[in-house]
Amino acid sequence: MTSVRFDLVPDRSQVWVEGSSSIHPIHATATGLTGWVELSFGPDGLAATPAVTGEVRIEVERLRSGNPLVDAETRRRIDARRFPEIIGRVTSSARAGADQLALAGEISFRGETQPVEGDLFVGRHGDELRLAGEQTMDVRQWGLQPPRIGLVKVHPQIEVRLQAVALPA
């Protein structure tokens, strides 16, 4: 069993954030993710007991909805000047399938760090590592109260999807 460190390729790594309001869906994307992951491999792929560590960082300024007014209000509510990054870290892992990991970790957002759990799918294509996962979260965990503007209410549940490409460090 060998442990290999991979660095994310920022221009090939992306996150999508999907939310909703009382009148329409809310979408935002960000490319340029940075970070790394270290995985254990056996002869047939992921090790039976993988020792996974890793970190991913997203600059808040990179989150774009396509609407400059929504983006400005999002940055204001997040307080992007004081908290310019969202950081995810892996704290423990278990193999959940041939190409699937059950991860526990934490997300630091707006000065708050909260535990999270989820699955990560891992594919190896030559030297390239492809990572994919999704998680539903409640932004109130990090002290962010969704706005209510007139009759429009933004819901606190969001779905975050990640697709990343990494290369050996």
Mean pLDDT, to the nearest integer, of 12-37? Answer: 94
- Residue range 74-85: mean pLDDT, rounded: 92
Q: Is the pLDDT of residue 147 over 80?
A: no
pLDDT number for residue 70: 80
Half-sphere exposure of 167 (CA within 13 A, CB side): 4
Q: Smallest Cα–Cα separation from 146: which of 158, 133, 160?
A: 158
Q: Which residues have C-beta within 8 Å of that of residue 93, sequence separation ≥ 6?
A: 50, 51, 52, 101, 102, 103, 104
pTM (two decimals): 0.90
Summarize the confidence of residues 11-25 as an average pLDDT. 93
- Among 126, 110, 119, smallest CA distance to 166 is for 126
Q: Which domains does the chain have, with CATH numbers?
A: 2-168 (2.40.128.110)
Q: Which among 48, 54, 157, 164 is positioned nearest to 100, based on CA atoms?
A: 48
State pLDDT tens for residues 25-72: 989 999 999 999 999 887 777 777 778 899 999 999 999 998 888 888
* Integer Cα distance of 68 and 43 in angstroms: 49
